[in-house]
Structure 1
Amino acid sequence: MKKKFNRRTTTLVCILGVCLSACSVLPVSGQKLTPQQNSAILTAKRGGIVELKDFLTEKLPRIEYNKLILPGPQFIISDDPEYIRVPEAIALRENVQPGAVRLYLYNVNGVVEPAKIERKITALIKNTGKTIMHFRMLKYSSQVPSSNYFQIGKQGLADYFASNGEERIRTIEPGQAIAIDDKLEKNVVKYDELVHGIYEFVIDQPGEISILQTAPSIAGPAALKKIKNIIPTSHQNAGRGLFGVSNYQIVPKETYETGKGVAQIIVADGEKDPWVAGIESFSGEQAELAGNYGVMYDIEMKWKSTDGKGLALVTWNSRSANSQWCGGMATSMIISKGKYSEGIIQLPSDRLITKGDPEAIVIQVFPPAKNGEEQTIKLKYSPPGASCLPTPLIFIPVDIE
């Protein structure tokens, strides 16, 4: 996963299992739209790109918020190694308990020796309990392997948000392993192609999750019986292991007022919003999920118009100048109703990626309430695979024409 950000230690205060972190407010930037930029935002298509020359900066004032840990599933991610260089190997193995589980699979066929060969990368669950396991998929996102990582990350999130899971219940005998995703069993993964899946399911027996790479002709459960080598973690990618947080709620400390000017919410930066911690079972060491990929953020912001202006929500690739890996950004979100209808939106919607300044993506425009009453913006976000972080959420007062 492409993740370029500056890291430093951030203190996190936990009280009775609820963690709160505050984002400091930066000096007011005084940024204002030109009439032409205001018009461009209002006339843009939903998710479309507009150019905001001399406007976008990382130094915009930040909105202070509380970050609460919400109840959520056990969370596993497989992204270390990102590139699986060994033809036959296990890239992740973790134990899970009865209940809900979220699994985020992000691995690439990286085999070059003895040659670049086609592989299968698949996800398996083994019943380690003493009675039959019942398995039901709650949410599901599975992409066709591709070297277009931006498209996979963007579409993968959109599909996850839209998924309603499955009604069927699969049964697994004690000691038996099955493929979590039948599509992965059929996919042939060429060299440098990414396998991307987000799975949320519920089980009623303890289990063992494995991600492995093998020959396309070999069934995953059969490969699991014969493959013994587990690739050590390198601590160089997003992360691998079982993590203690899967869902956050972001609640600004104060009602946002349009009269105060432009402001932004920033999550998943590794600074004000630290990376979640977990355990990697093979090494027994603490793991860090650099990027918080797969963690779901429910953001709820109250706002009101104090000067008759509406409110535009935009984002941009704020780290585009950091390195060769940050040349593009693409994501998906769920946003509440405004000028455009409520729902899932791919960003950008009019092309694959946004490159960087002066490009901004218009997520939504919120008209002011006729009586000046307080309104609420709701947004669901998860850090997008393959893109640089963070993804700033910029709130801009706009003149509604």
Structure 2
Amino acid sequence: MIKGKKYMVAGVLACLLAGNVMLPGNASAKDILLSEQPSLDTVKASGQLVAEKDLTAPVAAAVNQETVEKAAGRTEKKSRKDRHKKAVQPAPKTGEATALNIQQRVAAILRQRMAEENKWRAKSHMMRMWPVESEDTGGTLIFSDSPESVTEDGILYQDSVAGDARVLYYHLNSSNAPKKVAVVLENDGDGSAIVRVTRGGTSAPSGDYLDVGKNTQEAYFNGSRHELIYLRPDNKKLLQSQMDETVLQPGQLVYGVYDFTASRKVKVSVIMYPADQDPIEFLKSARVLPKDEQRLRGTFHGMDRIVTSQTPYDPAQDGIVYFPLADDLHDRYRVGIDATDGSQVIDYGNYGVLYRLEIPTTGSGATQYFLSPLGGVYAGAMTVQYGTNPSRMLSTPYGRTFFGDSTPPESPNAEQARNEGLALLTEYTELADLGTYENDKKTVFEFSPPGASNLPVNIIMMPSNN
């Protein structure tokens, strides 16, 4: 019997150490979601997670807790009984001592693993998806990102607009010579046109794409513009005069976003041209370049998206909630037309779309807001307007260029649960703090997917005391 017990217990220990575990057949979705989170054993000394998850981590999902406690209790009871009889009983045989030693080791391992798992779970919070709805409004988005990697001179995108408009260009100089990128406005009508630039910004060209993306968003969100451009019939001018002063060296990226209003229809051309040529003269003979396989260019009507909810959020009653942006499941991508060939195109990521997040809040106290990247590395900016206060810019993240690089990848089951309305907020979730605001005043955020970053993102709302 002693020899049989020794092999049986040794087998249990080997399974525990090897990570051969099984989930209970009746585990709930919540249990499965919890069981798939990385264990503390997968954390490096630096605090970051390794890519592969530790299959031995969720011991609570591998062994029934009640069975573990009984097994540990029997072992401890037997150990106390053995200590009580030690003075009057002979020393156990070698096989018996080995079996008892293994049993004690098993009990110790189980207790340690359970303590680690409970400690980890205590730092985790279940979130549910908050119901939101959206409406597309505003003027026309002119989006130029194809070809993204440009190897020759030419027109990158071109279309005509009137009224409120936004132009976004995002291009990499993949040639072996210095280049410039400019937005040219042309009045090809009979009367004069006035273009009023109301908002916008760009970044110095660079090979650090995340830095370009973040700096451009900060420039766009950091205030308004009041610039007037007068165009006589058949007249051409740059949207911004400094565009002809900015040189892209090979391998550098340029990214810009500008809002404007045109009193009548004007033609908008995004061009890449030699650094030593005049952009207006170049446009006269330039041809439209073919788009690349990503096909990220086009004209999209309704350049703004308002996200709101019919249900006011009460942090004291509703706990921690989230809603996704730019995931094409709950927040659909925009569909438009490539004016250069008439084909239908999709704005994968909703780049250039300006979101207004207007989630009503109620109850006493305050709400804490966060942005959490889901797709990987992220570098951007937003604005917030609280009550009657003027809007202010928020860097996402604040204090460094990017984040999202330390978030462990989701398992398929965890992603499915999140898409269906249940997600886990853990100590490993990377968050950009958007601030805490009292519930009795209206809080509005502006958000736009930043170039060079990964999507989607979650907006998380929670009680301020969390």
Give the TM interval when normalised to the shorter protein.
Answer: 0.7 to 0.9
Cα distance in 1 for partners of 2:232, 2:441 equals 51
Partner AA of 2:304 in structure 1: N
Contact 1:83 1:110 in 2 (8 A): yes
Using the TM superposition, name which of 377-386 and 149-158 deviates more: 149-158
**Equivalent position to 1:380, from 442, 446, 459:** 446
Deviation at 1:342, TM superposition (A): 5.4
Of the three residues 309, 330, 341, the one matched with 1:252 is 309
Which residue of structure 1 lines up, in the alignment, with residue 194 of structure 2? 134
Q: Match of 2:39?
A: none
Is the Cα–Cα contact under 8 Å of residues 123 and 210 in structure 1 kept in the other structure?
yes
SS in 2 for 1:249: strand
Q: Distance in 1 between matches of 2:434 and 2:361?
A: 17
- Match in the other structure for 2:255: 196
> Using a 3 Å threshold, how does the CA distance of structure 1 residues 67 and 209 change in structure 2: closer, same or farther?
same
**Secondary structure of 1:204's aligned partner:** strand
Could you say if the C-alpha distance between residues 341 and 166 of structure 1 is closer, same or farther in structure 2, counting changes exceeding 3 Å? closer
Q: Which moved further from structure 2: 200-209 or 286-295?
A: 200-209
Which protein is bigger by CA-based radius of gyration?
2
Residue 235 (structure 1) shift? 4.5
2:165 matched to which residue of 1?
Answer: 101
1:141 touches 1:163 (CA, 8 Å); kept in 2? no
Normalised to the residue count of structure 2, the TM-score between the two structures is 0.65
Q: 2:437 aligns with which of 354, 361, 366?
A: 366
1:375, distance to aligned residue in structure 2 (A): 4.6
Counterpart Cα distance in 1 of 2:154 and 2:213 = 24
Cα distance in 2 for partners of 1:182, 1:301 equals 39
Task: Out of 121-130 and 144-153, give the one that drifted further.
Answer: 144-153
1:305 is displaced (CA, Å) by 4.5
Report the 3-state secondary structure (helix = DSSP H, G, I; strand = E; otherwise coil) of the residue aligned with 1:212.
strand
- Residue 199 to residue 56, structure 1, CA distance change in 2 (3 Å): farther
Correspondence for 1:80 among 146, 153, 169: 146
- Give the unaligned 5+ runs of structure 2: 1-28, 35-119, 408-427
Two-structure CA RMSD over aligned residues (Å):
2.6
**Partner amino acid, structure 1, of 2:211:** Q
User: 2:375 — aligned with what?
Assistant: 319
Question: Partner of 2:406 in structure 1?
Answer: 356
Query: What are the equivalent positions in structure 2 for 1:2-401 lying under 5 Å apart?
Result: 60-70=127-137, 72-86=138-152, 88-97=153-162, 99-111=163-175, 116-167=176-227, 169-228=228-287, 230-236=288-294, 239-258=296-315, 259-305=317-363, 310-320=366-376, 328-337=377-386, 343-354=392-403, 355-357=405-407, 358=428, 359-366=430-437, 374-399=440-465
What is the alpha-carbon distance in structure 2 between the residues aligned to residue 199 and residue 366 of structure 1?
A: 30
Contact 1:316 1:356 (C-alpha < 8 Å) held by counterparts = no
Residues 134-157 of structure 1 deviation map (CA, whole Å, 9 limit, x = unaligned): 222111212211122222222222
| C-alpha deviation, 1:166, in angstroms | 2.3
C-alpha displacement at 1:394, in angstroms? 0.9
TM-score normalised by the chain length of structure 1: 0.75
Q: Secondary structure at the match of 1:316?
A: strand
SS state of the match for residue 165, structure 1?
coil
Residue type at the aligned position of 1:331:
G
Inter-partner Cα distance in structure 1 for 2:200 and 2:279: 19
Contact 1:28 1:61 (8 Å CA) reproduced: no
- The code of the aligned residue for 1:62 comes to M
> Equivalents in 2 of 1:343, 1:81: separation in Å?
34
Cα displacement (A) at 1:28:
7.7
**Residue 73 of structure 1: how far off its partner (Å):** 2.1
One-letter amino acid of the counterpart of residue 273, structure 1 = D
The structure where helix makes up a greater share of residues is 2
Q: 1:75 to 1:242 in 2, by over 3 A?
A: same
The alpha-carbon deviation at position 120 of structure 1 amounts to 1.0
Code of the residue aligned with 1:280 in structure 2: it is: D
Range with bigger deviation, 243-252 or 154-163: 154-163
> Partners in 2 of 1:100 and 1:315 — Cα distance?
29
Write the deviation string for residues 303-345 of structure 1: whole angstroms up to 9, x where unpaired.
2347x6x43212222223xxxxxxx21111112449x995111
8 A contact 1:267–1:390 mirrored in 2: yes
Q: How far apart are the structure 1 equivalents of 2:459 and 2:395?
A: 15
Q: Give me the whole-angstrom Cα distance separating, in 1, the residues matched to 2:320 and 2:338.
A: 41
State the distance in 2 between where 1:293 and 1:365 align.
Answer: 27
For residues 28 and 256 of structure 1, what CA distance do their matches in structure 2 show? 23
Distance 1:203 1:313, change over 3 A: same
Alignment partner, residue 19 of structure 2: none
Looking at structure 1, the residues matched to 241 and 391 of structure 2 have their Cα atoms a distance apart, in angstroms, of 32
Cα distance, 1:390 vs. partner?
A: 1.1
Does the aligned pair in 2 maintain the 1:128–1:205 contact within 8 Å?
no
Q: Which amino acid aligns with 1:257?
A: D
Contact kept in structure 1, 2:209 and 2:452, CA below 8 Å: yes
Distance 1:334 1:215, change over 3 A: same
Q: What is the rounded CA distance, in whole Å, between the counterparts of 1:223 and 1:214 in structure 2? A: 7
Return the letter of the residue paired with 1:291: G
CA-to-partner distance for each residue in 1:220-246, whole Å, 9 max, x for gaps?
A: 101101212x11223415x21110120
Deviating 4+ runs (over 3 angstroms): 27-31, 53-57
- Secondary structure of the residue aligned to 1:350 is coil
Structure 1 unaligned residues grouped into runs of 5+ = 1-26, 32-52, 321-327
Corresponding residue SS for 2:311:
coil
Deviation at 1:203, TM superposition (A): 1.9
1:317 and 1:356 in contact (8 A); partners too: no
Distance apart, 1:104 and its partner CA: 0.7
Q: Secondary structure at the residue paired with 2:171?
A: strand
